[in-house]
Amino acid sequence: MDIRRLWYETACVPKSSLLRLSRRAGRTGIALLLAPMLATASGCDRIKEKLYPPQVDNGWKNDSTLLAQEPTVLLRVVRSAEGTRAVPIASVGAKGLRALSLTGRGWRALDVQLLHNGRSLIPYRNGTPLPATQASRGMWEGETLDSLPGCRQMIPAAAVSIPDGVELLTSGSTALRGVPAALGDGELQEVLNVVTTLVAPSAGVPLSQMGKYRRSVAVVGTGATRSPTIVVSYDDPQELPDSVTRLAERPRQLILVLDKGAYGYKPSLTLKDVSPTRISPRRRFLGALDADGDGKAELYFGLGESIPRGELATFTYRFSGDAWIADWEYTRTRCLG
């Protein structure tokens, strides 16, 4: 029920009514008498605009403001039987990473602006930028590119073709500033020998069981010290559900990050699943990128490829003092609702 007063019950007279009265009168004198009333009516109109403002789509207003700035966007690489996809998850800027949170209209606008056929993207292997590649099509160019059962709204993705080992991309044709990662083979082997005989056993991987693990090594430039950062991962190939509880068994995974100190390389971050009550999901190293442009790259980790709905999960660490500390995380899935 509308309980607002009519115009003749208030001090505010609609401007339209006064104009009609003035036209009917057709006399200059009457028009002059009505002029102050017309001014008062204009003031009433402004009051009514404040009392009953027009409907504004604040979500789209925020989305369009962000898109107008054309920010650099970080994209995760997702591989499946349907093909390779680049999924936008965050904007990159002086304040670091900011997770993208858009309305349905905003995601479609981002798809048109960022993910369309021919759009340039920079792939990174570990932390080294590779030559720019181009998206072959966006999410809604023609038929919908991807779908999930029961999902009405998805984060859009671009179809891409990229080399193996690439897990991260940024939008545009200019790569984020990198840090050199040169390290002699002899020095790297010395570090790995120490890790195998001393560091890994002290972290829970018995030397006698070392041969049962798959080891991967990445040397990345981070700027944390004057020397590159070394990331060593030990993976138990035996697959077990992440919910299984085990006691007194060797860890399924151990990730060691090492940086050079005054007396050589030493662990600066350790990720492992040796908890006696719960096993942590496997993680994998994605690379190192300097998202905030401060000259020091952050380390990026994701979840294991076999973990359901974990393909976009991203965890970053930044170097502080002499160790890597948790910095930012992204745990959303592609399905928004």
- pLDDT, tens only, 170-198: 999 999 998 888 898 899 999 999 999 99
Dist CA 311 CA 143 (whole Å):
23
Give the model's pLDDT for residue 59: 83
The residues near 292 (Cβ < 8 Å, ≥ 6 apart) are 93, 94, 95, 96
Dist CA 49 CA 33 (whole Å):
26
Task: Say which residue, 248 or 195, is predicted with more confidence.
Answer: 195
Give the model's pLDDT for residue 305: 81
Give the model's pLDDT for residue 10: 46
Give the model's pLDDT for residue 277: 46
Mean pLDDT of 137-150: 91
Give the model's pLDDT for residue 205: 86
Give the model's pLDDT for residue 182: 86
Average pLDDT of the chain? 85
Is residue 299 scored above 70 in pLDDT?
A: yes
Is residue 2 scored above 80 in pLDDT?
A: no
* Percentage of the residues of the chain whose pLDDT score is greater than 70: 78
Mean pLDDT of 69-95: 95
Give the model's pLDDT for residue 112: 94
Looking from the CA of 211 toward its CB, the CA atoms found within 13 Å total: 1
- pLDDT, tens only, 188-226: 999 999 999 999 999 888 888 888 899 999 999 999 999
The 10 Å Cβ neighbour count of residue 284 is 16
Helix extents (H) in 52-199: 58-68, 104-114, 185-194
Is residue 251 scored above 50 in pLDDT?
A: yes
- pLDDT, tens only, 7-63: 444 445 455 554 555 555 555 555 555 555 555 556 666 666 666 666 666 888 899
Collapsing DSSP to helix, strand or coil, 28 comes out as helix
Mean pLDDT of 163-176: 95
Give the model's pLDDT for residue 1: 47
